[in-house]
Structure 1
Amino acid sequence: MKSKILILFINFLAFNTFAQWQPAGDKIKTRWAEEIDVNNVLPEYPRPMMERSDWKNLNGLWEYAITKAGAPQPANFDGQILVPFAVESSLSGVQKSVGEENELWYKNSFTVPASWKNKKVLLHFGAVDWETGIWINEIKVGTHKGGYAPFSFDITPFLNKSGEQKLVVKVWDPTDKGYQARGKQTSNPRGIWYTPVTGIWQTVWLEPVNEIFIQNVKSVPNIDNESLNVLAVTCGTSFGDYYEVTVKQGGTTVSTGKAVAGEALDISVPSAKLWSPESPFLYDLEVKLFSNGKVVDEVKSYFAMRKISTKRDESGIVRFQLNNKDYFQFGPLDQGWWPDGLYTAPTDEALKYDIQKTKEFGFNMIRKHVKAEPARWYAHCDKLGILVWQDMPNGDRSPQWQNHQYFNGTELKRSPESEANYRAEWKGIMDYLYSHPSIVCWVPFNEAWGQFKTEEISDWTKSYDPSRLVNPASGGNFYHVGDMIDLHNYPGPAMYLFDGARANVLGEYGGIGLALEGHLWATDRNWGYVQFKNSKEVTDQYVEYAEQLLKMIKSGFTGAVYTQTTDVEGEVNGLMTYDRKVIKMDEERVRQINQKICNSLHK
């Protein structure tokens, strides 16, 4: 009888908690918004590239307050917010603006599992936009600047010996009033500029580790040598400590290797199965850290054997190659916005859905546009098989933009603080995404926005990761650096420049608009580069542009990006509506012509 009463009481508490949260506002929503459980928000392990068995998710209902910037921590909070959805989003349950003159406060409490005794406790944030301060039990433990890369703190010394631990987070985000990376966020949403995203927008979680532990695992495949270069980045190690790497295929050990802490290791992968969008095969990777002959840490990872490069063909055109074969890369511009969660997908299924649809549309690539996603998005790309061009989110100001000639103007001169922040954020994004095989191209700048010291940044990016291509200046302000020249043209494809020394790509085109009633973010201000009235007209135009692109492949294009995957706020030029409820084109016709383009260089 007592157990039944206890179950009823727990159910009552769960229902009461849920009843306190509802999506805010009356904007359109995805179907996944209805599946959110406030007691189990985005419960999936947030770092698939380096997985440990023990962790604790802190997502859920927290308290929040908005105060004037510089004010002390509030004694009373304004209400509840659903973490990790930005305060401006519907799914936060708040949907309030913050602005540069205010700060956003969060408060939560947690307990540390008894089994973590004698362990270090790391507090992880997937991403918080933008300047973050962290307090544990009234002690400020650190700050972080940056809206896209993950960060963490060792909070062990500040924890109470038992009971509840108090966590307070303060965030300040000037949106477009500062120099920081912000992508398409603006304080005045309109056209191609969207709602601000302030505060926590990725999973917050705890993780126990030993005094000596693995911080990161970086892996680079070499299909020509049938090997994998691995570096386990460690913390707390001393002379004599080493790590062991084991490569597995379907549970069977392929090879093993050992190296002292801090030293990279080449490990054999004989007769390797190669990864591609057509066959996305992944190997398992186990890494163990030893100290005094004993295992002190162990993580699970994965990798793929694949190679991305360029090569001049028999006609003298520089082509992309995948695994040493000519390969045309074709995909949509994917901005990763959601009508209900803004930067944050409502569920992991939703996060995966856009990638699945991209594959079903017949594409083999995605350009992730001026946004970095949670690590799970890239893991889905790895497993499903899709190439990714990764943009650096733009920030600071836009100087003059030249896109029909090589740049002969004056580049943007950032302040030392702005420049240092760009470099730190770009490196942080590259670091946490470094081992994902789906990523084949880094894009430091887009359409001149925030573009500075292009040659230096391009060369640094290539030097930091020589295994991938660098698209130094997507859409304009071109220099003779990097691996490609990237043209943008709307609405139809065009080749208005040609570089005989590098690959030539059409980094953006299309933007065919179709506004569908009942699926619009705003009913009074919708646009596309061209607008049509029904699905057939839109599909016909898409196919016509694709046929034009096919002819240009023979002339020299080796990659292209269509704008875009979904509608975003006032933009109605998506293959799908913003709420993902309607495919706006004839999917089979789109798939057929896309496959024809993707296979155009196959022999």
Structure 2
Amino acid sequence: MTSCNWILLSTAALLASGLFAAAPELREQLSLNGTWPTGGKVPRYDSQNVAFDNKTYERTFTVPAAWAGKRVKLEFQAVNWYCDVYLDNRKIGSHNGAWIPFDFDITDLVQAGKTYTLRLEVRGELLSPTKEDGKILWWIGYNDLDKARAGIVDDVWLRAYGQVHIEDTFVKTSWRNSRIEVEYTIANRSSQRWTGRVVGDAVLETGGATAKTVQTADFSIDPGQRITVSATASWNNALLWWPDQPNLYLLKSRLVSGTNVADRETRRFGFREFWCEGNQFRLNGIRVNIRGDWSCFSQYWGSISDAATLERHYTEMLKTNANMLRWHKHPAPQFAYDMADEMGIMIMAESALYGRPYYNHDQKVKLIDNCLTLIPAWIKGSRNHASVMIWSACNEATFGGLSNIPPEQLKRLGDKIYEYDNTRPVNYDGDASVPGVMVNRHYPEGYEKDPTVKYPNGDMYNDWTSLNHATKPTYLGEILAVRPGTNENGWWIGVWPRGLRHANFAGIAPRVYYAGSRITAAQADLQSKAYAPIALFDIAYDKLGIKPYKDGILPSLDQGATVKRSLVVYNDDYRDESVIVEIELRAGGTSHAKGRTSVALGLGEHKDFDAMFQVPFKGGSTLEVVYRTFKGGVQRFEEVKKFVIKDLGKSGTSSTVVTFGGLQPPPPPPPLNQPPKVSIVSPANGAQYPAPANVNVTATASDPDGSVVKVDLYLNGTFVRTENTAPYEWTLANLAAGSHTLTAKAFDNAGATATASATFTVVDPPEVVGFTLIECGPVGN
């Protein structure tokens, strides 16, 4: 067995069952994918070799009769590079900008039940407006101006909307705050003012009851207006999205006014949070170390024309023990992100600003200005994917021999990304000089060079430590480029990353080819072990480099000698902080010694320790030292290191025991955490206020065995605000008449919570009864 067979068990079962399914339908919709009578296959996901200056696409479609009274939109996920769009020979609009979604509202041009002719006139990258005066002024992704990747390259939809409808939805989940927030963009295309709310029910995609409901406050929207409204709810028991347990929810949202439903949609999401903390990455509160890979859609893996082909490539990538993929050079089709959501593959999503010499002109500011206009659609189109952890604003765009774009210009791209998604970090791949929350470096060893050319010591554990930023995550975004026949990096990708993991780089990403693609089966096996999440490495053996594997040059040990090996064990997992390590000595087909011990090891952490054993008296034989790890009774890793036993003419019986040093016994379990205490001091329970009321709220909170980190206040179940330090005070303004319930929720430093509630009433002032003063004369008159 090899370590790659033990990873992501739930994902392996998913694939074996053929259960991959695309995301649910957003709303009432009709796919316009297929073979168009003019233009051919739509979309061409495998568009690398599709090259043209001008091309016509044409087909007919029928608006479903059931859509009478609906608004109808024509939606394109991506058309490269520029297109004019016609309906029955009437131009309805144009679009410029590759790899991003766009749409046209065609409601006033169509009738339900009737058939229309759709035509696109598409221009290639060498024509205006992409290229002006010999300069490329818009991002184009990968190619060397060979006209490739042009045309309709992602899905085409016809969708139905209400006259008042949900135009966009952004689902934001926070593990740190135990909260879900949903931002809805609402458009009113009716002729009437509309008042109502949005209600969203989250249910597991696998089925079951509603797990959480979010609801906006009532709002009004005038004809022609577009507004953004938010719904927030606490959620401390959501099933989290993890790479090995990719739980997904469906948010079923409806736009309601009284009992009338104006619009409905369904979005898929995962409850997870990814962030930078110091020089590490965190996923749902634990340290996660990125063992990355990168690929360009329909390039490095060859043509990808359908989901089955991509599923095969994703499966092979998972066998390498990689846990993140950067879709490089330009955005991938939406189904690639959908599949990653389901398979638990973390994604770095990259823009189409791929550093090339054709951007190195005197109009770089205009180039960036143009790219800024494309970012909103790109981000909004992909930001609900659970798998997308990091945005990459560009690739190698500062390189002098390529685009030579100033760092301050590239930072503008990142700033624009944050405007549309501040829940994920932004990366500039290879452009380490761009200021940001993380640092990304490419090829410290030189492009397509063996690492020992520049670092002759070959010490992967120490040679690159100076490259690791002290306070920001450092991601080695491209290293060890494999070029068979030119370098030995097919072997080095199985050895050098071992030292980089030990050096605490937050992420590493050699171009990991799986067996049969560009590396041999032996190289692929070595690489998958270098990436194994629960690995056990022999540090001195790693420092021998690739000679034991490539050339068969084995180190020697004296027969009968007692030796000490310096080892490191990893726990790059998502649960369970106990790892069993086991070492076995084999020679001449016989097991001579074995030892096993338990290591207490935090998630995402690694630990150095020693193993001691006596070399068997088998001079001239090959000694196999077998390194294994186990978690929860399941074997997670096995690797054999071979030595030559030097024959010194000795004989005897060697020890059958392997002992361990440098490991402290597991600490006793900590005492059970006691929850905090919280109370609402003001208003008093049962208090009354005249309407409209301004109510000052005061809460106190303490923790018997730690500290209070925050107190959240809810009014009638709706989140109000967080106070992180005492005094915990809030002001509620203009409260209407009725009964109101306050809930204060305190959190301690260990994650425990406590709540307190109080109820008060806001009453309308008493009605003033009118009276008439009658003037009377003196009594008796």
TM-score (norm 1): 0.72
| Offset at residue 456 of structure 1 (A) | 3.2
Q: Residue in 1 aligned with 2:106?
A: 155
Give yes or no for contact 2:56–2:122 (8 Å, CA) kept in 1.
yes
Decide which of 400, 421, 425 is 1:465's aligned counterpart: 421
Amino acid of the residue matched to residue 425 of structure 1? L
Give yes or no for contact 1:309–1:324 (8 Å, CA) kept in 2.
no
Decide which of 475, 483, 497 is 2:438's aligned counterpart: 483
Q: What is the 5 A alignment of 1:34-433?
A: 48=23, 51-52=26-27, 54-64=28-38, 81-85=40-44, 97-99=51-53, 103-159=54-110, 163-175=114-126, 177=131, 178-188=136-146, 196-236=148-188, 238-249=193-204, 250-259=207-216, 260=218, 262-291=228-257, 293-312=259-278, 318-337=279-298, 345-394=304-353, 398=357, 414=363, 417-433=366-382
Structure 1: runs of 5+ lacking an equivalent: 1-43, 65-79, 189-194, 313-317, 401-410, 515-527, 533-537, 566-573
Q: Residue in 2 aligned with 1:26?
A: none
Q: Equivalents in 2 of 1:421, 1:556: separation in Å?
A: 38
Amino acid of the residue matched to residue 509 of structure 2? V
Deviations along 1:560-587, one digit per CA (max 9) or x if unpaired, are 112145xxxxxxxx75539xxx986655
| Offset at residue 381 of structure 1 (A) | 1.0
| Offset at residue 593 of structure 1 (A) | 2.2
Amino acid of the residue matched to residue 594 of structure 1? Y
Q: 1:585 to 1:434 in 2, by over 3 A?
A: farther
If you compute each CA radius of gyration, which structure gives the higher value, 1 or 2?
Answer: 2
Secondary structure at the aligned position of 1:382 is classed as helix
Q: What is the 5 A alignment of 1:488-499?
A: 488-489=443-444, 490=447, 491=449, 495=464, 497-499=467-469
Decide which of 577, 582, 594 is 2:517's aligned counterpart: 577
Which moves more between the two structures, 150-159 or 417-426? 417-426
Q: Residue in 2 aligned with 1:25?
A: none
Q: Residue in 1 aligned with 2:532?
A: 595
Give yes or no for contact 1:329–1:558 (8 Å, CA) kept in 2.
yes
Deviations along 1:444-472, one digit per CA (max 9) or x if unpaired, are 1211265451333333433542211121x
Deviations along 1:134-169, one digit per CA (max 9) or x if unpaired, are 000111111111111111111122226754311110
Identical pairs, percent: 22
Give yes or no for contact 2:497–2:531 (8 Å, CA) kept in 1.
no
Richer in helix (by share): 1
Decide which of 524, 538, 542 is 2:493's aligned counterpart: 542
Deviations along 1:176-215, one digit per CA (max 9) or x if unpaired, are 9522222211234xxxxxx711111112221122212222
- Number of aligned residues: 478
Q: Equivalents in 2 of 1:339, 1:482: separation in Å?
A: 29
Q: 1:341 to 1:209 in 2, by over 3 A?
A: farther
Q: 1:455 to 1:162 in 2, by over 3 A?
A: closer
Q: Residue in 1 aligned with 2:668?
A: none
Q: Residue in 2 aligned with 1:12?
A: none
Q: Equivalents in 1 of 2:32, 2:42: separation in Å?
A: 8
Amino acid of the residue matched to residue 561 of structure 1? A
Q: Equivalents in 1 of 2:107, 2:44: separation in Å?
A: 27
Q: Residue in 1 aligned with 2:637?
A: none
Give yes or no for contact 1:127–1:150 (8 Å, CA) kept in 2.
yes
Ranked by relative contact order (alpha carbons within 8 Å, sequence separation 6 or more), the top structure is: 1
Secondary structure at the aligned position of 1:153 is classed as strand
| Offset at residue 398 of structure 1 (A) | 4.4
Q: Equivalents in 1 of 2:45, 2:307: separation in Å?
A: 17
Give yes or no for contact 1:327–1:599 (8 Å, CA) kept in 2.
no
Give yes or no for contact 1:137–1:159 (8 Å, CA) kept in 2.
no
TM-score (norm 2): 0.56
| Offset at residue 228 of structure 1 (A) | 0.7
Q: Equivalents in 1 of 2:301, 2:493: separation in Å?
A: 28
Q: Equivalents in 1 of 2:366, 2:389: separation in Å?
A: 30
Amino acid of the residue matched to residue 197 of structure 1? R
Q: Equivalents in 1 of 2:522, 2:100: separation in Å?
A: 35
Which moves more between the two structures, 458-467 or 432-441? 458-467
Secondary structure at the aligned position of 1:346 is classed as coil
Deviations along 1:212-258, one digit per CA (max 9) or x if unpaired, are 22222101111122111111222217442310011224412222121
> Does 2:496 correspond to 1:530?
no
Q: Equivalents in 2 of 1:274, 1:391: separation in Å?
A: 25
Give yes or no for contact 2:84–2:122 (8 Å, CA) kept in 1.
yes
| Offset at residue 50 of structure 1 (A) | 6.4
Give yes or no for contact 1:179–1:396 (8 Å, CA) kept in 2.
no
CA RMSD of aligned residues (A): 3.2
Structure 2: runs of 5+ lacking an equivalent: 1-19, 220-227, 452-462, 536-569, 573-602, 606-781
Amino acid of the residue matched to residue 175 of structure 2? I
Richer in strand (by share): 2
Q: Equivalents in 2 of 1:89, 1:320: separation in Å?
A: 34
